[in-house]
Amino acid sequence: MTSSLALATFAALLLGAAPAQKPPGAFPYPMKVSTLKNGLTVVRVPFESPGLIAYYTVVRVGSRNEVEAGHTGFAHFFEHMMFRGTKRFPESTRGAQLAKLGFNENAFTSDDVTVYLLNGPSSSLPTLVDFEADRFAHLDYAEPAFQTEAQSVAGEYQKNASNPALKIEETTLGAAFTKHPYRHTTIGFFEDITQMPQRYAYSKTFFQRWYTPDNCVVVLVGDFDDAKAMALFEKHYGPWTGKAAKLEVPAEPPQTEARDAKLVWTSPTLPRLGLNWHTPAASAKTLDAATQQVLASYLAGPTSPLHRALVLEQQLVERLTPTYDHHRDPSLFGIDAKLKAEVNREPVKAATLAAIAEIAAGKVDGKRLDDIKSNLRYGMVMGLETPSQVAESLAWNIGIFGTPTALDALAANITKVTAKDLTTFAKKYLVDTNRTTLAFTVEPKGATP
DSSP 9-78: HHHHHHTTSPPTTS-SSS--S--EEEE-TTS-EEEEEE-S-TTEEEEEEEE---GGG--STT-TTHHHHH
Residue 131's pLDDT is 96
Residue 424: CB atoms within 10 Å = 16
Contact 46, 122 (CB under 8 A): no
Task: Note the pTM of the prediction, 2 decimals.
Answer: 0.91
Residue 141 sits at the vertex; the CA angle it makes with 137 and 144, to the nearest 5 degrees, is 170
Inter-CA distances, 226 with 40, 47, 213, 372, Å: 17, 12, 20, 38
pLDDT tens readout for residues 158-204: 999 999 999 999 999 999 999 999 999 999 999 999 999 999 999 99
What is the pairing mode between strands 114-121 and 259-265? unpaired
| CA gyration radius, the chain | 23
Q: How far is CA 129 from CA 23, 57, 119, 171, 249, in A?
A: 28, 11, 13, 42, 33
* Per-residue model confidence (pLDDT) at position 447: 60
pLDDT given for residue 5 in this prediction: 40
pLDDT tens track for 310-344: 999 999 999 999 999 999 999 999 999 999 999 99
Edge-to-edge strand list for the sheet holding 52-59:
32-35, 41-46, 216-222, 52-59, 114-121, 104-109
Q: By C-alpha distance, which of 442, 439, 440 is closest to 268?
A: 442
| Whole-number pLDDT of residue 91 | 79
| 31-237 and 259-442 agree in CATH topology | yes
Distance (Å, whole) CA 148 – CA 80: 11
CATH number for the domain formed by residue range(s) 31-237: 3.30.830.10
Q: Where are the alpha helices (DSSP H) in 301-445?
A: 305-307, 345-360, 366-382, 387-401, 406-416, 419-429
Q: What backbone torsions phi and psi does residue 438 show, to the nearest 5 degrees? A: -105, 130
pLDDT reported for residue 446: 65
Tally: H helices and E strands in the chain = 16, 11
- Sorted by where each begins, the domain ranges of the chain are 31-237, 259-442
Q: Which residues of the chain have pLDDT under 50?
A: 1-23, 449
What stretch of H or E contains 321? Answer: strand 317-322
Query: What three-state secondary structure class fits 383?
Result: coil
What pLDDT score does 12 carry? 37
Choose the CATH number for 259-442 among 3.30.70.100, 3.30.830.10, 3.40.50.150, 1.20.80.10. Answer: 3.30.830.10
Q: Is 102 left (phi over 0), alpha (psi -120 to 50) or beta?
A: left
